[in-house]
Amino acid sequence: MFNDTCDRPLLHKPGATQAHGLLLGIVLPDWRISQVSANTQTRLGIDPETLLGQSLNTLLSESDITAIADDLSKRPGQIHSLSLTWLTPLGEQTFNTIFHPLEDTYLILELEPDSAEKTFSLPQFYQTYKYVLHQLQQAVTLSELCQIIVQQIQQITGFDRVMIYQFDETGAGSVIAENKRDDLDPYLGLHYPDSDIPQEAKALFARNPLRLIPDVDYQPVPLMALADDPQSPLDLSLSVLRSVSPDHIEYLQNMGVKATQTISLLKDGKLWGLISCHHQSPYFIPYEQRSLCEFLGQVMSLEIASKEANEDLDYQKFLKSVQTQLVKKLGQAESLTQALFQSRQELLPLVGADGCAIYTEGTIFLVGQTPTESEVQDLIEWLEERFENHLFVTHALPHLYPVAIAFKNVASGLLALSLTQVQKNYVLWFRPEQIQQVNWAGASQNPSQAEADGTIRYFPRKSFELWQETVRLQSLPWKPWEIEGAKELRSAIIGIVLQKLNELAEINIELERSNNELDAFAYIASHDLKEPLRGIHNYANFLLEDYMNLLDEEGVDKLHTLIKLTKRMEDLINALLHFSRLGRQELNLQILDLNQSLQTIVDVFKASKGGEMMEIRVPRPLPLVLGDRVLLEEVLTNLINNALKYNKNSNKWVEIGFLETSVQPPTHPTQGTNSTLTLYVKDNGIGIQERHLDTIFRIFKRLHAQSKYGGGTGVGLTIVKKIIERHHGSIWVESTYGDGSTFYFTLPQGETDS
């Protein structure tokens, strides 16, 4: 957009000036005219050759020269301006005389026409300054500040277009504020490559805060110097008339601009941006107005840091409030997945992203503008090895991961967070490619000219294309506090997970304590109950023995029932006692050959059941298991006993076997592992109705009247379950009512495959 170029050497020593004024180089201390612009004849009525070598007092009164000297000594090194009367062959002429020293022995004087009608009186100046300053103080953010500046400068100067152009860290820039004539195309938001303003030009902008080109089509005026001029070629860095590089002139012509004024904006001494003014026709701004613009530029320069900080602060505050909401939601959610899913709306603003993918335990949720699920899946695989401190940040993903070219429109920028160390839980944020479509219809230019010399820098449209090229496959960079937002999310999640773990640990301790208490209670209660029960039982017996003759038949019957009931109660208490012991008893773990145990159990059964018809099937030898022999034999005994007991078949059979691959209980599918074995005890008995499949494991739960199927306490299966669970296994039953049941249970294998 500026291209005050340029790559040619000596940009600050062009050997020529613009045509709207004239320049004199004066050697001090004898005030000898040593160098002049070649237009003195038209401006002063003396040809340059005549002027060279003369003393300045041929053109200026002694008092004016003293005034210049005074100014120089009062504010050394500065640019000064005085409205002076020059004594020329054309008569007395008033010029706005702008001067600055070059070292201590040389002075550059530049004469600009002094506008006949003073644009500002002092009070007017003051009023304007005061008003603008007040406005600037009202601005809170940088964008407000910029908007006020462009408005005020357009009002003061009357330029067709006033813009603020800000450089980014790469040196490229964009238009961030604009005030313009309504009929002109907007440039707001346009970007330009670093090469548009070469380093040398930037350095000049940093030194000389205001640059005016009143007529882009001017004829450069060469400088002429005495042979012994000590400053040839003259350094015009601080000159107001410095001739403009032809490249820049061409660039401006291609934009249809006839006059420009540029004011530098500095932050911490470095060029931060420019206030750029354009006019569609030649346009001269008197020095006083320029000074006011320069002053506003300086005020703005002072304000940039604090306004930027305000803007950052606002953004940071916003991020903080999003974080707070997120943490609140996370705290209330039951699982990480649920928490993240519920907070999906907050996740995007948290880091200023357009899309987000949440990956927890193999499930992907997509929010906003994202690649497809399978693209995200592949990206995660690529990412897994690339996290550093749980973070991966890039604003040029396709450069690192070429597959991403396919979805550059949504994910040229990636900010990824790995939430947990062991499990794969990730949050990925996406930003689209930065390139934007711009309508250049208003800028008249012929692009083919641009290619003639192989360069493209003179053409704004080409320049924009060049910028597009440099930022292709890139998103806007992630700001430090956006990355911080992601990190804090991780800390918050970890904090919550830890808190949940803590709560769980506390619940576990509590559970263990109450379990122990329950066991102890069951033990004490059953133990202590036995004594009075025994007393009741004994007394009932005494009554029967000693007072039978005094009782009628009904009384004797009742005593018999009482004795039977005490017996049953004793059985129940013993079962409870046994059960309570199981909870406290240490397991005596060993590698067990269940085939041996089974043999003993079967022998006992056969002996106790006498000639009853029953078949005990073991289709193949059982594998080794890891467990407590006594307890596991109790399991088998109980299950086999039930299989034969709840069986009305004339050919009763029970089958004991194991499954080839471990199967887990339907309600707790995660409990099994590779080293788990699933055994079963199957019968052709009466079966169990579906609604009882779970309840039969409850203590004292029987499905039949006391007298049926040989009676029982309803504790057997509860004990079986407790033993299996103490071996970290599970037990469940499948049954077809009337046809038989299969009890499955899992146990740790006695040896692994290896």
Query: Footprint of ligand ADP on this chain (CB under 6 A)?
Result: 642-643, 646, 683, 685-686, 688, 696, 701-704, 712-718, 741
Residue 134 φ/ψ, nearest 5 degrees:
-60, -45
CA angle 106, 26, 12 (to 5 degrees): 65
Nearest to ligand ADP of 99, 745 (CB atom): 745
Distance of CA 478 to the CA centre of its chain: 8
Nearest to ligand ADP of 467, 653 (CB atom): 653
Report, in Å, the least distance between residue 683 CB and ligand ADP: 5
Residue 417 φ/ψ, nearest 5 degrees:
-130, 130
As a 3-state breakdown, the chain gives helix, strand, coil percent values, each rounded to 5, of 45, 20, 35
Nearest to ligand ADP of 482, 634 (CB atom): 634
Nearest to ligand ADP of 103, 690 (CB atom): 690
Q: Where are the beta strands (DSSP E) in 327-448?
A: 355-360, 363-368, 391-394, 413-418, 425-431
Report, in Å, the least distance between residue 586 CB and ligand ADP: 24
What's the Cα-to-Cα distance from 54 to each of 31, 35, 510, rounded to whole Å? 9, 10, 105
For residue 244, give every residue at least 6 positions away whose Cβ sits within 8 Å of its Cβ, in sequence order, or none.
4, 14, 18, 213, 216
Q: Which residue is nearest to ligand ADP (CB)?
A: 712
Report, in Å, the least distance between residue 568 CB and ligand ADP: 11
Nearest to ligand ADP of 461, 645 (CB atom): 645
Report, in Å, the least distance between residue 642 CB and ligand ADP: 3
Q: What is the CA radius of gyration of the chain?
A: 48
Q: How far apart are CA 634 and CA 628, in angstroms?
A: 10
Report, in Å, the least distance between residue 324 CB and ligand ADP: 54
Nearest to ligand ADP of 234, 720 (CB atom): 720
For the purposes of burial, counting CB atoms within 10 Å of the CB of 396, is it exposed (0-12), middle (13-18) or buried (19 or more)?
buried
Nearest to ligand ADP of 130, 564 (CB atom): 564
Report, in Å, the least distance between residue 647 CB and ligand ADP: 7
Q: How far apart are CA 473 and CA 479, in angstroms?
A: 18
| Cβ–Cβ < 8 Å for 366, 341 | no
59-64: list long-range contacts, CB under 8 Å, 24+ apart: 59/86, 59/87, 59/88, 60/84, 60/86, 60/87, 61/85, 61/87
The secondary structure of residue 448, as a DSSP letter, is H
Report, in Å, the least distance between residue 653 CB and ligand ADP: 12
Nearest to ligand ADP of 441, 705 (CB atom): 705
Report, in Å, the least distance between residue 716 CB and ligand ADP: 3
Report, in Å, the least distance between residue 710 CB and ligand ADP: 8
Report, in Å, the least distance between residue 522 CB and ligand ADP: 16
Nearest to ligand ADP of 646, 653 (CB atom): 646
Q: How far apart are CA 662 and CA 538, in angstroms?
A: 52
Going by C-alpha positions, the residue among 109, 113, 94 that lies closest to residue 37 is 109
Nearest to ligand ADP of 551, 693 (CB atom): 693
For residue 257, give every residue at least 6 positions away whose Cβ sits within 8 Å of its Cβ, in sequence order, or none.
216, 278, 279, 280
Nearest to ligand ADP of 5, 741 (CB atom): 741
Give the H/E segment covering residue 627.
Answer: strand 624-628
Which residue do the tokens 């882009």 mark? 216
- Residues in a beta bridge with 653: 615
Report, in Å, the least distance between residue 535 CB and ligand ADP: 26
Half-sphere exposure of 90 (CA within 13 A, CB side): 12
Helix/strand/coil (H/E/C) assignment for every residue in 558-615: HHHHHHHHHHHHHHHHHHHHHHHHHHHCCCCEEEEEHHHHHHHHHHHHHHHHCCCCEE
Nearest to ligand ADP of 371, 712 (CB atom): 712
| Cβ–Cβ < 8 Å for 266, 244 | no
Report, in Å, the least distance between residue 331 CB and ligand ADP: 43
